Structure 1
C-alpha cells in the first residue's frame, strides 16, 4: 500500500511555498526499511539537549512492539526520489472494555517519529490520518495514544491538528531493582496461577474497568508473560481454592511481563559526579546486602524492565499483601541480571496505586491518554459515547503489550 502526500514545503518564506507530491506513505517492508527506520529512531532520541534523558532501544525488528497483536501495521513516510525514510508510525487494533462490561474495537497508536530535518511539513499529521483510515477499515471505532503530559509537540499534534481529546491521566510507578533481596513475611504465601485460571479470575475482577482486553488469555500465555501471582495470608492456605473460586478475605494478585526482548532503556547525559555516586551506592549494596541500602541500579548501560499489570487487592490486609507481592517480583528481577526496574501504570483513582512501592523521583505523575472517535459522530449521536459515559470502576487496565 502506498499513498502520495502533497506536502507543503517552506524553503525560506511563505512566498516560496511549493506544493509537490514529495512524500509517499507505505507499509513497512523489513527488507527495504529496517535499517532506515532504526536510523530514524536513533535520530529522534530524546536528550539531544545535553540534559539527562531516558533512551529507548528497540530489540530486533522495529515492528516488535506490535507484533503480539493479531491486527497491526507500521507505516513509513518516504521523501524525494531516493525514498528517504523521514517518518514512521505504528498501530495495533484490539477489542477492549470501555467500562460496565461493554466491549469495543479500539486502535492504539504509538511510535510516531519524524526526522528532525523534515518537521513542520505536515508529515506527522498525514501519517496519523492514513493510519486512522487503516484502522477504520479494520473496524476500530476509537483510536487513542499515550504521551507524557510535558511532551507539548506530541500533545499539540494530536489534540490541535488531529482532533484527539485528553481523556485519561495515569501514573507510572517505577521501583529500582537493588542488589539485595526484599524480605517477604513468613506469614505470606505466594501462589503461581496457571494462565487459564488467571484469565478466569481477571475476567471477573476487571469486567467493569476500562481498556480491559478481550484476548486476556493470549496475553497470559504469551512467552513474555512471566506468570500471574497471588499473595494470601498463610493461615488461609488450606482453605483457599482459586480453581473453585474460593478466595481468602484478603489477597493481592498481579501478572509480570518481561520487556527485555522487546526494548531496553538507558540513561544518558548524566554528570560524572552523579554517575560515581550512583555506582557507589550499588557497590555498597553488593558488599553489605544485609544493610538493605536503597541502591541505584546500573541504568547507564542498556537494561530491561518488568512490567506489572492486572494489579488488584482485596480485604484489610490487601495493601500489605500487595507490597509483599511487589517484593516477590523484585526478587525475581534481582535474579535476572539484565532487569533494572519494575514498572506499573495505574489510574489515578485506582486504590492499588498507594500500595505499590516506587521511587517518586523515577516515576511519572501524569501519563496522558488522548482519544478520538473514528466514526461519524452525527450517526452515533443517539448512542452512548465513551466520552459521556462513566465507568463504574476506577480501574484502568493497562495492556502490557502497549507498554
Structure 2
C-alpha cells in the first residue's frame, strides 16, 4: 500500500483511538494513565506546629518528597466530629449538621458521648453524602478504619468496609498503630480498594490530659513520626509507591487551659440561673457551649451572659457569616464561645483537662497540619494555608470522580498537583502519544 493511501487509514485509527480514550470511564485504573488510589490519615488534635519542637525525621522527609501546607484552618466548630465530617463532605457545619461531638436532643435532653455516636446514623445522615458513598456510587471501593462518620448509613447505604473505634479502647498503642497500617495497605494491595480513611486518636488525648507543652505530647509526636516511617516502608514492600496518594491531616489544634490561681475560671451560673432560664444546655465542654432558653427568656439569657468575662455570646442567627453555623437547624438558639484557653463551666468547676480545643478557628492554636505525597503530588512543595473544607474537592480530583455539591474549591489546592494530573486527561494524553507514534513510525518506514 502506498504512503498516500495508508495515511487516511492511520488518521482514522487515530480518531477512533482518541474517541475510545475520551469515552473510557473516568479514572479507569490500569496503564500509565489509570486512576490512583487514596489513603486519608487523620491524627486527632495534631496542631500545626507540633513537629517544630521535636525531632521528626520521617515527617521532615515528607516535606522533601511531597507537599506541606504551612497550616490549615478547621471549621467552626473546632471539634472532632464536626471537623472530620467537613473534611469528608466538603461542607460547612451548618450544611452537614454534625454540630457537636456529643449527639443531643434538645427536647428530651438526651446526650450521647462521641464514641457512642459512631454507629448512630440519625446523627450523621442529614442529607449530605460523605466521600465514601459518593465514590461507591461511581464504582469505587471504599473503607473507613475508625474515621468518624464511617460507621453510619447514608440514605440506607453503608461504606463498603468499616472498622469502628470502640468506647474506652486505648488510642496510643504503637504496635496496634502499625497493625492498622498493615491492614489498610493490604486492603489496597490485595483487595483493590480505591479509598481508605484511617483515624488515630492521638495526639488529642495526651494534649487534653497533659497539655500541649508537656513532654508526653512530644513523645507521642515522635511515635507518630515513627508511624509515618513505618507507613512508607510498608507501602514500598507492597509496591504501592507509584499507585497510592496519601494525605495526612487533622481536625483541630490544642491550647493550654487557663486555670486558677492564674485566672478566674468561667462559671456561668454566677451570671444567670441556668435551672430557671435554660431548658437545655451543653456547657461543660471546652471552649464551645450551647443552650436553649426557656420560652420568652432568650433576651434575658443573652443579656446575662454578655456580662460574663472571657467569652462571647451569640444569638445563633446573628453569628458571623465566617462561622458558617447560623443556618443550622439542629444548633440551639444561643451559642457561647470562650476566649482562647478559658473553659466553660456551667454551675461549678468540674473540668480537669490541661489542654483543649473548641475555640475560635481563627486562633493559631486551633490550626492543624497538612502533608501529602504520592504519584500525583509535587515534591518539595510548600502550600499557603487554606481551609480544611477544600480538602474534599482535592480528594475527588485525585480519585477522578464527580464531586457532590460542596463548599470547597479545587483552586485552593491545585498548585500542589503535578501538571499532568487527572485520570481521564492522563489517559487521553497517553493514548494520543501512543497513536501518534504509530502514525509517524510506519510513515517513516514506508
Indicate whether the TM-score tops 0.5: no
User: Which has the bigger relative contact order, CA under 8 A and spacing at least 6?
Assistant: 2
Larger radius of gyration: 2
Determine which structure has the larger helix proportion and give its number.
2
Normalised to the residue count of structure 2, the TM-score between the two structures is 0.21
**Higher strand proportion, which one?**
1
